[in-house]
Structure 1
Amino acid sequence: MKKIVVIGGSKGIGNAIVKSLVENNQVVNISRSVPLLSHTNLTHFSCDILNDELPDIDQIDSLIYCPGSINLKPISRLSLDDFRTDYEINVISAVKAIQHFLPALKKGTNPSILLFSTVAAKLGMPFHASVAAAKSGVEGLAKSLGAELAPTIRVNAIAPTVTDTDLASKLLRNERMIESITERHPLKKFLAPQEVADMATFLISDKARSISGQIFELDCGIVSFKI
Protein backbone atom coordinates (compact mmCIF):
# COMPACT_ATOMS: atom_id res chain seq x y z
CA MET A 1 0.00 0.00 0.00
CA LYS A 2 1.49 3.33 -1.10
CA LYS A 3 1.41 6.55 0.90
CA ILE A 4 0.22 9.41 -1.31
CA VAL A 5 0.01 13.07 -0.34
CA VAL A 6 -2.63 15.05 -2.22
CA ILE A 7 -2.57 18.81 -1.79
CA GLY A 8 -5.96 20.29 -2.62
CA GLY A 9 -7.95 17.07 -2.47
CA SER A 10 -11.18 18.38 -0.96
CA LYS A 11 -12.75 19.62 -4.21
CA GLY A 12 -12.75 19.20 -7.98
CA ILE A 13 -10.01 17.21 -9.65
CA GLY A 14 -8.15 16.74 -6.37
CA ASN A 15 -11.19 15.20 -4.73
CA ALA A 16 -11.71 12.84 -7.66
CA ILE A 17 -8.08 11.76 -7.29
CA VAL A 18 -8.51 11.12 -3.56
CA LYS A 19 -11.61 9.01 -4.22
CA SER A 20 -9.76 6.99 -6.88
CA LEU A 21 -6.80 6.26 -4.63
CA VAL A 22 -8.19 5.85 -1.14
CA GLU A 23 -9.39 2.24 -1.39
CA ASN A 24 -5.93 0.82 -2.07
CA ASN A 25 -3.53 3.45 -0.68
CA GLN A 26 -2.85 5.51 2.39
CA VAL A 27 -3.92 8.98 1.31
CA VAL A 28 -2.99 12.17 3.14
CA ASN A 29 -5.09 15.15 2.05
CA ILE A 30 -3.84 18.67 2.75
CA SER A 31 -6.33 21.47 2.08
CA ARG A 32 -8.18 24.31 3.72
CA SER A 33 -11.48 22.44 3.82
CA VAL A 34 -12.23 18.89 4.89
CA PRO A 35 -13.19 16.55 2.01
CA LEU A 36 -16.72 15.15 2.07
CA LEU A 37 -15.31 11.67 2.33
CA SER A 38 -14.51 9.46 5.29
CA HIS A 39 -12.28 6.41 5.00
CA THR A 40 -9.89 4.52 7.25
CA ASN A 41 -7.14 5.06 4.66
CA LEU A 42 -7.65 8.85 4.55
CA THR A 43 -5.93 11.37 6.81
CA HIS A 44 -6.71 15.08 6.55
CA PHE A 45 -4.63 18.10 7.56
CA SER A 46 -6.29 21.52 7.42
CA CYS A 47 -3.77 23.87 5.87
CA ASP A 48 -3.66 26.97 3.68
CA ILE A 49 -0.84 26.10 1.29
CA LEU A 50 -0.06 29.78 0.69
CA ASN A 51 0.39 30.75 4.32
CA ASP A 52 0.60 27.79 6.70
CA GLU A 53 3.38 25.40 7.61
CA LEU A 54 3.03 21.97 6.04
CA PRO A 55 2.82 18.88 8.25
CA ASP A 56 5.83 16.60 8.64
CA ILE A 57 5.42 13.16 7.09
CA ASP A 58 8.20 10.61 7.39
CA GLN A 59 7.87 8.70 4.11
CA ILE A 60 5.91 9.40 0.91
CA ASP A 61 5.59 7.48 -2.35
CA SER A 62 3.80 10.18 -4.37
CA LEU A 63 3.08 13.89 -4.06
CA ILE A 64 0.19 15.33 -6.09
CA TYR A 65 -0.20 19.11 -6.14
CA CYS A 66 -3.68 20.13 -7.33
CA PRO A 67 -4.33 23.79 -6.41
CA GLY A 68 -4.88 26.07 -9.37
CA SER A 69 -6.66 29.20 -10.54
CA ILE A 70 -8.81 30.41 -13.42
CA ASN A 71 -8.45 34.18 -13.48
CA LEU A 72 -9.77 35.24 -16.89
CA LYS A 73 -9.56 38.97 -17.68
CA PRO A 74 -8.36 41.20 -20.50
CA ILE A 75 -4.72 42.21 -20.02
CA SER A 76 -5.88 45.80 -19.37
CA ARG A 77 -7.81 44.58 -16.31
CA LEU A 78 -5.20 42.17 -14.94
CA SER A 79 -3.25 43.80 -12.14
CA LEU A 80 0.30 42.90 -11.24
CA ASP A 81 -1.14 41.42 -8.06
CA ASP A 82 -3.30 39.12 -10.19
CA PHE A 83 -0.15 37.79 -11.84
CA ARG A 84 1.61 37.47 -8.48
CA THR A 85 -1.33 35.63 -6.90
CA ASP A 86 -1.66 33.15 -9.78
CA TYR A 87 2.08 32.51 -9.70
CA GLU A 88 2.02 32.02 -5.93
CA ILE A 89 -0.83 29.48 -6.13
CA ASN A 90 0.42 27.51 -9.11
CA VAL A 91 4.22 27.67 -8.90
CA ILE A 92 5.61 29.02 -5.62
CA SER A 93 3.35 26.92 -3.41
CA ALA A 94 4.10 23.83 -5.51
CA VAL A 95 7.80 24.50 -4.98
CA LYS A 96 7.12 24.97 -1.26
CA ALA A 97 5.42 21.56 -1.09
CA ILE A 98 8.11 19.81 -3.13
CA GLN A 99 10.94 21.24 -1.04
CA HIS A 100 9.17 20.34 2.20
CA PHE A 101 8.35 16.76 1.22
CA LEU A 102 11.47 15.98 -0.82
CA PRO A 103 13.28 14.15 2.02
CA ALA A 104 10.17 12.00 2.60
CA LEU A 105 9.84 11.28 -1.13
CA LYS A 106 13.45 10.12 -1.29
CA LYS A 107 12.51 7.44 1.26
CA GLY A 108 9.57 6.28 -0.84
CA THR A 109 9.20 3.32 -3.17
CA ASN A 110 9.47 4.35 -6.84
CA PRO A 111 8.49 7.90 -5.79
CA SER A 112 6.82 10.44 -8.07
CA ILE A 113 5.53 14.00 -8.19
CA LEU A 114 2.51 15.05 -10.22
CA LEU A 115 1.66 18.68 -11.05
CA PHE A 116 -1.11 20.35 -13.05
CA SER A 117 -0.88 22.72 -15.99
CA THR A 118 -3.56 23.76 -18.51
CA VAL A 119 -4.09 23.57 -22.26
CA ALA A 120 -3.83 27.39 -22.23
CA ALA A 121 -0.07 27.07 -21.70
CA LYS A 122 0.25 25.78 -25.28
CA LEU A 123 -2.91 27.01 -27.01
CA GLY A 124 -3.07 30.81 -27.20
CA MET A 125 -6.39 31.83 -25.67
CA PRO A 126 -7.70 35.35 -25.05
CA PHE A 127 -7.95 36.52 -21.42
CA HIS A 128 -5.67 33.72 -20.15
CA ALA A 129 -2.45 35.75 -19.81
CA SER A 130 -2.04 35.37 -16.05
CA VAL A 131 -2.99 31.71 -15.66
CA ALA A 132 -1.16 30.70 -18.85
CA ALA A 133 2.02 32.41 -17.65
CA ALA A 134 1.78 30.68 -14.27
CA LYS A 135 1.02 27.25 -15.69
CA SER A 136 3.87 27.60 -18.19
CA GLY A 137 6.03 27.95 -15.11
CA VAL A 138 4.58 24.68 -13.80
CA GLU A 139 5.53 22.92 -17.05
CA GLY A 140 9.07 24.26 -16.86
CA LEU A 141 9.27 23.13 -13.24
CA ALA A 142 8.12 19.61 -14.12
CA LYS A 143 10.68 19.23 -16.88
CA SER A 144 13.56 20.72 -14.92
CA LEU A 145 12.87 18.73 -11.75
CA GLY A 146 12.31 15.56 -13.79
CA ALA A 147 15.90 15.90 -14.98
CA GLU A 148 17.31 16.99 -11.63
CA LEU A 149 15.66 14.28 -9.55
CA ALA A 150 16.24 11.38 -11.98
CA PRO A 151 16.60 8.50 -11.49
CA THR A 152 15.16 8.63 -7.98
CA ILE A 153 11.93 10.63 -8.36
CA ARG A 154 9.73 10.92 -11.44
CA VAL A 155 8.03 14.26 -12.16
CA ASN A 156 5.15 14.74 -14.61
CA ALA A 157 2.27 17.13 -15.22
CA ILE A 158 -1.23 16.91 -16.64
CA ALA A 159 -2.59 19.80 -18.72
CA PRO A 160 -6.38 19.41 -18.79
CA THR A 161 -8.84 21.33 -20.89
CA VAL A 162 -12.06 22.64 -19.34
CA THR A 163 -13.13 20.27 -16.56
CA ASP A 164 -16.53 20.18 -14.89
CA THR A 165 -15.52 21.48 -11.45
CA ASP A 166 -16.45 24.39 -9.20
CA LEU A 167 -13.31 26.19 -10.40
CA ALA A 168 -14.63 26.16 -13.97
CA SER A 169 -18.25 26.86 -13.08
CA LYS A 170 -18.18 30.35 -14.64
CA LEU A 171 -17.25 28.78 -17.97
CA LEU A 172 -20.11 26.28 -17.77
CA ARG A 173 -22.80 28.40 -16.16
CA ASN A 174 -25.53 27.95 -18.76
CA GLU A 175 -26.55 25.67 -21.61
CA ARG A 176 -25.30 28.05 -24.31
CA MET A 177 -21.80 28.15 -22.81
CA ILE A 178 -21.76 24.39 -22.33
CA GLU A 179 -22.74 23.86 -25.95
CA SER A 180 -20.12 26.35 -27.16
CA ILE A 181 -17.31 24.73 -25.20
CA THR A 182 -18.41 21.26 -26.30
CA GLU A 183 -18.37 22.29 -29.96
CA ARG A 184 -14.92 23.89 -29.69
CA HIS A 185 -13.37 20.51 -28.83
CA PRO A 186 -12.80 18.09 -31.72
CA LEU A 187 -14.02 15.19 -29.56
CA LYS A 188 -17.20 17.19 -28.87
CA LYS A 189 -16.84 16.96 -25.13
CA PHE A 190 -15.00 18.45 -22.18
CA LEU A 191 -13.61 16.66 -19.17
CA ALA A 192 -15.18 15.08 -16.12
CA PRO A 193 -12.97 15.16 -12.99
CA GLN A 194 -12.80 11.36 -12.96
CA GLU A 195 -11.12 11.33 -16.38
CA VAL A 196 -8.31 13.48 -15.00
CA ALA A 197 -8.13 11.33 -11.88
CA ASP A 198 -7.72 8.22 -14.05
CA MET A 199 -4.70 9.77 -15.78
CA ALA A 200 -3.26 10.89 -12.44
CA THR A 201 -3.66 7.41 -10.98
CA PHE A 202 -1.79 5.94 -13.94
CA LEU A 203 1.07 8.45 -13.83
CA ILE A 204 1.90 7.79 -10.18
CA SER A 205 1.59 4.03 -10.61
CA ASP A 206 4.38 1.53 -11.27
CA LYS A 207 2.96 1.15 -14.80
CA ALA A 208 4.39 4.60 -15.56
CA ARG A 209 7.89 3.97 -14.17
CA SER A 210 9.50 4.88 -17.52
CA ILE A 211 7.71 8.25 -17.78
CA SER A 212 9.19 11.45 -16.38
CA GLY A 213 9.47 15.10 -17.39
CA GLN A 214 6.34 14.86 -19.54
CA ILE A 215 3.34 17.16 -19.91
CA PHE A 216 0.20 15.22 -20.81
CA GLU A 217 -2.36 17.21 -22.82
CA LEU A 218 -5.71 15.87 -21.66
CA ASP A 219 -7.33 18.10 -24.21
CA CYS A 220 -10.27 16.41 -25.99
CA GLY A 221 -8.32 17.25 -29.14
CA ILE A 222 -8.37 21.04 -28.80
CA VAL A 223 -4.57 21.45 -28.77
CA SER A 224 -3.72 18.52 -31.02
CA PHE A 225 -6.26 18.82 -33.85
CA LYS A 226 -7.62 21.41 -36.23
CA ILE A 227 -10.79 20.05 -37.76
Structure 2
Amino acid sequence: MIGGSHGIGSSLVDQLKDRHRLIVASRTHSTLPDSVRHIPFDAQNDDLDTGSLPESLDGFVYLPGSIDLKPFTMLDVETFEKDMLINFFGMVKVLGSVVERMSAGASLVLFSSVAAGTGMAYHTSISAAKGAIEGFARAFAAEYAPKLRINVIAPSLVDTPLAKRLLNNDRKREDMASRHPLKKIGSPEDIAHMAQFLLSDDSRWITGQVLAVDGGLSTLSGS
Protein backbone atom coordinates (compact mmCIF):
# COMPACT_ATOMS: atom_id res chain seq x y z
CA MET A 1 0.00 0.00 0.00
CA ILE A 2 1.48 3.34 -1.08
CA GLY A 3 0.22 5.85 1.46
CA GLY A 4 -1.87 4.70 4.38
CA SER A 5 -1.06 6.90 7.35
CA HIS A 6 -4.03 9.26 7.03
CA GLY A 7 -7.53 9.56 5.63
CA ILE A 8 -8.73 6.80 3.32
CA GLY A 9 -5.48 4.86 3.68
CA SER A 10 -5.70 4.83 7.45
CA SER A 11 -9.28 3.56 7.30
CA LEU A 12 -8.27 0.86 4.82
CA VAL A 13 -5.44 -0.24 7.10
CA ASP A 14 -7.90 -0.55 9.99
CA GLN A 15 -10.19 -2.72 7.87
CA LEU A 16 -7.44 -5.03 6.61
CA LYS A 17 -4.90 -5.25 9.43
CA ASP A 18 -6.40 -8.24 11.25
CA ARG A 19 -6.72 -10.43 8.16
CA HIS A 20 -3.74 -9.58 5.99
CA ARG A 21 -0.04 -8.91 6.23
CA LEU A 22 0.19 -5.23 5.33
CA ILE A 23 3.14 -3.20 4.10
CA VAL A 24 2.67 0.56 3.96
CA ALA A 25 5.12 2.82 2.14
CA SER A 26 4.58 6.42 3.22
CA ARG A 27 6.25 9.54 4.54
CA THR A 28 4.92 9.13 8.09
CA HIS A 29 4.01 6.15 10.21
CA SER A 30 3.05 7.37 13.69
CA THR A 31 -0.61 6.41 13.20
CA LEU A 32 0.07 2.91 11.86
CA PRO A 33 -0.61 -0.15 14.06
CA ASP A 34 2.43 -2.08 15.25
CA SER A 35 1.36 -5.05 13.14
CA VAL A 36 1.80 -3.07 9.91
CA ARG A 37 5.25 -2.94 8.40
CA HIS A 38 6.35 0.54 7.31
CA ILE A 39 8.74 1.57 4.55
CA PRO A 40 9.77 5.26 4.51
CA PHE A 41 8.76 6.59 1.09
CA ASP A 42 7.89 9.87 -0.62
CA ALA A 43 6.00 9.23 -3.86
CA GLN A 44 7.20 12.50 -5.38
CA ASN A 45 10.89 12.04 -4.73
CA ASP A 46 11.90 8.50 -3.78
CA ASP A 47 12.48 5.16 -5.46
CA LEU A 48 10.71 2.36 -3.60
CA ASP A 49 13.07 -0.05 -1.84
CA THR A 50 11.80 -3.25 -3.42
CA GLY A 51 14.61 -5.31 -1.94
CA SER A 52 12.77 -5.41 1.37
CA LEU A 53 9.48 -6.61 -0.16
CA PRO A 54 8.23 -10.21 -0.24
CA GLU A 55 8.74 -12.15 -3.44
CA SER A 56 4.97 -12.35 -3.94
CA LEU A 57 2.36 -9.62 -3.44
CA ASP A 58 -1.39 -10.26 -3.47
CA GLY A 59 -2.58 -6.67 -3.62
CA PHE A 60 -1.50 -3.15 -4.48
CA VAL A 61 -3.08 0.20 -3.57
CA TYR A 62 -1.82 3.63 -4.60
CA LEU A 63 -3.26 6.42 -2.45
CA PRO A 64 -1.17 9.61 -2.85
CA GLY A 65 -3.11 12.45 -4.44
CA SER A 66 -3.72 16.17 -4.52
CA ILE A 67 -6.49 18.76 -4.60
CA ASP A 68 -5.55 22.04 -6.28
CA LEU A 69 -8.75 23.79 -7.34
CA LYS A 70 -8.19 27.08 -9.16
CA PRO A 71 -9.35 28.80 -12.35
CA PHE A 72 -7.35 27.70 -15.37
CA THR A 73 -5.84 31.20 -15.75
CA MET A 74 -4.36 30.91 -12.25
CA LEU A 75 -2.64 27.59 -12.99
CA ASP A 76 0.81 27.37 -14.49
CA VAL A 77 2.42 24.42 -16.24
CA GLU A 78 4.29 23.53 -13.07
CA THR A 79 0.99 22.96 -11.26
CA PHE A 80 -0.14 20.52 -13.94
CA GLU A 81 3.23 18.78 -13.77
CA LYS A 82 3.06 18.52 -9.98
CA ASP A 83 -0.44 17.02 -10.05
CA MET A 84 0.59 14.55 -12.75
CA LEU A 85 3.71 13.60 -10.79
CA ILE A 86 2.03 12.69 -7.51
CA ASN A 87 -1.18 11.25 -8.95
CA PHE A 88 -0.01 9.50 -12.12
CA PHE A 89 3.73 9.31 -12.74
CA GLY A 90 4.42 8.39 -9.12
CA MET A 91 1.97 5.53 -9.44
CA VAL A 92 3.43 4.34 -12.74
CA LYS A 93 6.94 4.39 -11.31
CA VAL A 94 6.04 2.39 -8.21
CA LEU A 95 3.82 -0.06 -10.03
CA GLY A 96 6.52 -0.67 -12.60
CA SER A 97 8.89 -1.64 -9.82
CA VAL A 98 6.54 -4.20 -8.22
CA VAL A 99 4.37 -5.56 -11.03
CA GLU A 100 6.57 -8.63 -11.52
CA ARG A 101 6.04 -9.51 -7.86
CA MET A 102 2.26 -9.52 -8.15
CA SER A 103 0.88 -13.03 -7.71
CA ALA A 104 -1.63 -14.61 -10.08
CA GLY A 105 -5.06 -13.33 -9.12
CA ALA A 106 -3.71 -10.22 -7.39
CA SER A 107 -5.88 -7.11 -7.28
CA LEU A 108 -4.72 -3.54 -7.79
CA VAL A 109 -6.68 -0.47 -6.73
CA LEU A 110 -6.07 3.08 -7.93
CA PHE A 111 -7.88 6.34 -7.18
CA SER A 112 -9.41 8.86 -9.53
CA SER A 113 -12.03 11.55 -8.85
CA VAL A 114 -15.62 12.26 -9.76
CA ALA A 115 -14.21 15.31 -11.57
CA ALA A 116 -12.44 13.13 -14.16
CA GLY A 117 -15.76 11.95 -15.60
CA THR A 118 -17.96 14.94 -14.76
CA GLY A 119 -16.94 18.38 -15.97
CA MET A 120 -16.37 20.67 -12.99
CA ALA A 121 -15.10 24.22 -13.00
CA TYR A 122 -11.68 24.85 -11.43
CA HIS A 123 -10.69 21.16 -11.75
CA THR A 124 -8.64 21.24 -14.98
CA SER A 125 -5.35 20.14 -13.45
CA ILE A 126 -6.61 17.41 -11.14
CA SER A 127 -9.08 16.17 -13.76
CA ALA A 128 -6.24 15.77 -16.25
CA ALA A 129 -4.16 13.77 -13.78
CA LYS A 130 -7.04 11.56 -12.67
CA GLY A 131 -8.19 11.04 -16.26
CA ALA A 132 -4.73 9.66 -17.02
CA ILE A 133 -5.19 7.14 -14.22
CA GLU A 134 -8.51 5.94 -15.61
CA GLY A 135 -7.15 5.47 -19.13
CA PHE A 136 -4.05 3.72 -17.81
CA ALA A 137 -6.11 1.31 -15.70
CA ARG A 138 -8.29 0.19 -18.61
CA ALA A 139 -5.25 -0.49 -20.81
CA PHE A 140 -3.39 -2.21 -17.97
CA ALA A 141 -6.42 -4.38 -17.23
CA ALA A 142 -6.53 -5.54 -20.84
CA GLU A 143 -2.80 -6.23 -20.95
CA TYR A 144 -2.59 -8.19 -17.71
CA ALA A 145 -5.85 -10.15 -17.74
CA PRO A 146 -6.39 -12.81 -16.58
CA LYS A 147 -3.37 -12.77 -14.24
CA LEU A 148 -4.08 -9.42 -12.57
CA ARG A 149 -7.12 -7.30 -11.91
CA ILE A 150 -7.05 -3.51 -11.66
CA ASN A 151 -9.88 -1.14 -10.82
CA VAL A 152 -10.25 2.54 -10.02
CA ILE A 153 -12.32 4.22 -7.33
CA ALA A 154 -13.62 7.68 -8.23
CA PRO A 155 -14.80 9.46 -5.07
CA SER A 156 -16.38 12.83 -4.65
CA LEU A 157 -15.24 15.06 -1.81
CA VAL A 158 -14.24 13.02 1.24
CA ASP A 159 -13.65 14.30 4.76
CA THR A 160 -9.88 13.74 4.90
CA PRO A 161 -6.88 15.92 5.81
CA LEU A 162 -6.33 16.53 2.08
CA ALA A 163 -9.74 18.24 1.85
CA LYS A 164 -9.36 20.19 5.09
CA ARG A 165 -9.37 23.65 3.56
CA LEU A 166 -12.56 22.88 1.62
CA LEU A 167 -14.37 21.78 4.78
CA ASN A 168 -12.93 24.03 7.47
CA ASN A 169 -16.21 25.60 8.64
CA ASP A 170 -19.86 24.62 9.02
CA ARG A 171 -21.02 26.70 6.05
CA LYS A 172 -18.58 25.03 3.68
CA ARG A 173 -19.54 21.59 4.97
CA GLU A 174 -23.25 22.30 4.49
CA ASP A 175 -22.70 23.68 0.98
CA MET A 176 -20.58 20.71 -0.06
CA ALA A 177 -23.02 18.20 1.41
CA SER A 178 -25.97 19.84 -0.37
CA ARG A 179 -24.33 19.30 -3.77
CA HIS A 180 -24.70 15.56 -3.41
CA PRO A 181 -28.02 13.74 -3.87
CA LEU A 182 -27.39 11.85 -0.63
CA LYS A 183 -26.88 15.23 1.10
CA LYS A 184 -23.70 14.33 2.94
CA ILE A 185 -19.96 14.33 2.53
CA GLY A 186 -18.17 11.03 2.10
CA SER A 187 -16.17 9.54 4.94
CA PRO A 188 -12.83 7.75 4.61
CA GLU A 189 -14.60 4.56 5.69
CA ASP A 190 -17.03 4.85 2.75
CA ILE A 191 -14.16 4.73 0.28
CA ALA A 192 -12.11 2.20 2.21
CA HIS A 193 -15.02 -0.26 2.16
CA MET A 194 -15.01 -0.17 -1.64
CA ALA A 195 -11.23 -0.61 -1.75
CA GLN A 196 -11.48 -3.58 0.59
CA PHE A 197 -14.12 -5.14 -1.65
CA LEU A 198 -12.01 -4.65 -4.78
CA LEU A 199 -8.98 -6.20 -3.10
CA SER A 200 -10.97 -9.25 -2.02
CA ASP A 201 -12.02 -12.34 -3.94
CA ASP A 202 -15.60 -11.07 -3.72
CA SER A 203 -14.74 -8.85 -6.70
CA ARG A 204 -12.95 -11.58 -8.65
CA TRP A 205 -15.04 -10.95 -11.81
CA ILE A 206 -14.42 -7.20 -11.88
CA THR A 207 -11.51 -5.56 -13.69
CA GLY A 208 -10.86 -2.44 -15.76
CA GLN A 209 -13.66 -0.54 -14.06
CA VAL A 210 -14.00 2.98 -12.68
CA LEU A 211 -16.38 2.78 -9.74
CA ALA A 212 -17.98 5.98 -8.49
CA VAL A 213 -18.34 6.30 -4.73
CA ASP A 214 -19.65 9.84 -4.75
CA GLY A 215 -23.00 10.20 -3.03
CA GLY A 216 -24.71 10.03 -6.42
CA LEU A 217 -23.08 13.23 -7.69
CA SER A 218 -21.92 11.88 -11.04
CA THR A 219 -25.21 10.31 -12.12
CA LEU A 220 -28.14 11.83 -10.21
CA SER A 221 -29.77 15.22 -10.04
CA GLY A 222 -29.22 16.91 -6.70
CA SER A 223 -32.73 18.30 -6.58
Q: What TM-score do you get using the length of structure 1 for normalisation? A: 0.94
Q: 1:167 aligns with which of 162, 166, 175?
A: 162
Aligned to 1:112, what secondary structure does the other structure show? strand
Seq. identity, %: 40
CA distance in 1, matches of 2:216, 2:30: 32
CA–CA distance in structure 2, aligned partners of residues 75 and 151 of structure 1: 41
Could you say what the CA RMSD is over the residues aligned between the two structures, in angstroms?
Answer: 0.9
Point out where structure 1 has 5 or more consecutive residues left out of the alignment.
1-5
Q: Do structure 1's residue 214 and structure 2's residue 209 form an aligned pair? A: yes
**Distance across 2 between alignment mates of 1:35 and 1:100:** 26
The Cα shift of 1:109 comes to 4.8
Q: Tell me if the contact between 1:66 and 1:116 (Cα under 8 Å) persists in the aligned partners.
A: yes
Q: Select the residue among 47, 51, 72 that pairs with 2:45.
A: 51
- Is 1:152 matched with 2:135? no
Query: Is 1:120 equivalent to 2:115 in the alignment?
Result: yes
Q: In the alignment, is residue 141 of structure 1 matched against residue 136 of structure 2? A: yes
* Unaligned stretches of 5+ residues in structure 2: none
Normalised by the size of structure 2, how large is the TM-score? 0.96
Q: Is the 8 A contact 1:156 1:212 kept in 2?
A: yes
1:17 maps to 2:6: no
1:37 is displaced (CA, Å) by 2.5
Count how many residue pairs are aligned between Structure 1 and Structure 2: 219
**1:59 Cα offset (Å):** 1.2
Matching residue of 1:80: 77
Look up the equivalent residue of 2:45 and give its one-letter code.
Answer: N
Aligned equivalents of 1:169 and 1:68: distance in 2?
Answer: 14
What is the CA–CA distance in structure 1 between the aligned matches of 2:45 and 2:197, rounded to whole Å?
A: 31
1:184 aligns to 2:199 (yes or no): no
Distance in 1 of aligned mates of 2:184 and 2:30: 27
Residue 171 of structure 1 deviates from its aligned partner by: 1.1
Give 1:123 deviation, angstroms.
1.4
